Structure 1
Amino acid sequence: MVGVIPDAEARELPNRYVHLIQPGDWKKPPDFSQELAWWLNGGEEETFFERAKGPSGPLAPTSFAHRFADFIEDANVSTAATDAMQDASMALMPQAVGAGLFVATARKANPVAALCYGLGAQRSAMLPGWFGNFLLSADEVRAALPRAEEALLLSDAQRSTALSRIADWMTAMGDTPDCDAAELIDAPLRVMRYAAEAGSGAAAFSRWY
């Protein structure tokens, strides 16, 4: 979910819920730094998917795909503070999907992981926040927008590769073969541009139900 929220609320939300932070919140697994280094230094070049049962068989994830899925899962640990800020942000976002709101839904497969895998480490690192999560004031949206545009405005060849990789992820890691891979690339940038033009803040996060 990526959506605009009022600038004043974007600035205030962290202070409103800081009292919920507990010792040990956001503590990463012991090997998290090693996994981050793996991803940033060529992890995307590993074989994430292979054809099962021959060349025409279904795609199957390899150990590298599961490794990256676990890494993304560990990157954003749920805490009382983050859950409260996400609930509050969701209540402030537009009620209907459009220029100011994008929602990607899927079973099992994580759209954030799919987008990062599709873009690769260098481009996904240009996106604001931390692997799919951010809370930005209007000034921060405007500051982050140029790098987001650099990450998401792809050449035809780059876009074709990214769309193929996203489709592979959403098909092999879950049961969403009809995922709109193009929207997963285009919509977050559309929301950020809308927020920049409107002088709004923006938030992004994932929720599992």
Structure 2
Amino acid sequence: MGITSAWSISAHDDDFISALAPRLLPLIAAERNEPFARERWDRWRREPLPDFRTWWKPFGQFCRREADALDSFLELTAAGNHMQKMYDGLSSYDDFSLFTDVWDLVTGREDIFVSVQSKEYALRSFLHAIGPARAALLPGWCGNFLLTSHEVRKTLPAVEQALGFTEEERAKAENQDWLDYGDEEESVLDGPLRMWRQAAADARGLCGVSVTIY
């Protein structure tokens, strides 16, 4: 059975970020501290994966180490159980959800970047396209973060370093981003940096969440 996923980055005033922090920050910490999470991240940094078109070879052509490295990355970049609570609701006693209490509150189209993908994780394509060295410059954990306006401004130089490309680097990254985009869809290579720059200019915070919709 396939999945549909979403990776969103939305801009909010600091009051909203502060109100969201007790809910979201513990979930990000739980994802980061999940058993094997750091091991998977470190393995990806040590062993960046080759061209994605080589990932699904005929049976018997993968060595065990290659297969394990790919499985590790796929697990790392799938939406985690803890962050999923931001979409499903935190508990049976709390109906707070990412959809109604975060996304629905965004009124300006320019105040959100969201990539919804069928049978795929947008975050996975993004991380593979930029590679582990650039990904290590980004705050939070695997596309999940909550930043005040001060933290947005503070992290902007590192994000610009991570997501700023020469013409050759951009072409290489695009070659490893396997997502298809419609005429009005924003690339995962464009949306995050746009959101950071805009939020920094507007003195706003940012909320980034990767979840499975269904």
Q: Same fold (TM over 0.5)?
A: yes
CA distance in 2, matches of 1:179, 1:76: 30
Superposition deviation, residue 115 in structure 1: 0.7
Of residues 29, 34, 43, the one that matches 1:28 is 34
1:117–1:202 distance in 2 versus 1, CA, 3 Å: same
Unaligned runs of 5+ in 2: 1-7, 59-65, 90-95
CA distance in 2, matches of 1:208, 1:80: 10
Superposition deviation, residue 79 in structure 1: 5.9
Of residues 114, 123, 128, the one that matches 2:134 is 123
Superposition deviation, residue 25 in structure 1: 5.0
Report the AA paired with residue 207 of structure 1: V
Unaligned runs of 5+ in 1: 55-61, 171-176
> Identity over aligned residues, as a percent?
24
Maintained 8 Å contact 2:146/2:206: yes
Confirm whether residue 97 of structure 1 aligns to residue 109 of structure 2: yes
Of residues 163, 186, 200, the one that matches 2:204 is 200
Greater relative contact order (CA < 8 Å, ≥ 6 in sequence)? 2
SS in 2 for 1:203: strand
Match of 2:76 in 1: 71
Which structure has more helix as a fraction of its residues? 1
CA distance in 2, matches of 1:51, 1:205: 26
CA distance in 2, matches of 1:129, 1:92: 22
CA distance in 2, matches of 1:151, 1:49: 24
1:40–1:188 distance in 2 versus 1, CA, 3 Å: same
- What is the correspondence of 1:149-160 to structure 2 with a 5 Å cutoff? 149-160=160-171
Match of 1:7 in 2: 14
CA distance in 1, matches of 2:39, 2:115: 29
Of residues 40, 44, 68, the one that matches 1:39 is 44
Equivalent pairs counted in the alignment come to: 186
Superposition deviation, residue 47 in structure 1: 5.4
Superposition deviation, residue 116 in structure 1: 0.7
Deviations 1:16-54 (A, max 9, x none): x38xx79x954513x33322221111x214454328799
Deviations 1:50-80 (A, max 9, x none): 28799xxxxxxx8344431211226673364
User: What is the Cα-based RMSD across aligned positions, in Å?
Assistant: 3.2
CA distance in 1, matches of 2:196, 2:55: 37
CA distance in 1, matches of 2:103, 2:56: 40
CA distance in 2, matches of 1:35, 1:109: 19
CA distance in 2, matches of 1:145, 1:85: 28
Superposition deviation, residue 108 in structure 1: 1.6
